[in-house]
Structure 1
């Protein structure tokens, strides 16, 4: 499945932030964890809203029946 580029961009940024956080935790610094938590919560809400919109488009493209028996 091809994901939109902005989701891949957010994913790569979160991986980089995660790696930075792992290094800081090893050094005893946990200050960035609150920021990571906030960013990941916002990203989760954004991606969930995007996925619901895509699923709604799929249902509408199938005549409103979605993947039921009636849509063939």
Structure 2
């Protein structure tokens, strides 16, 4: 995906492990979209969320619902 979208700025989650395992990266510089990928597979699939869906997803994680 990096070569398709070279302007994306991926940010590693602060909850990612120090050894580089179980890392999630998020890009927030897409207009109207939040993208998420596994940092171990940067050319692999990415999930995209609307800002509202992303906030609902995070709220579900924080509340333990997800």
TM-score (ref. length: structure 2):
0.32
Find the structure with the greater CA-based Rg: 1
More strand by share: 2
| Greater RCO, 1 or 2 (C-alpha within 8 Å, sep 6+) | 2
More helix by share: 1
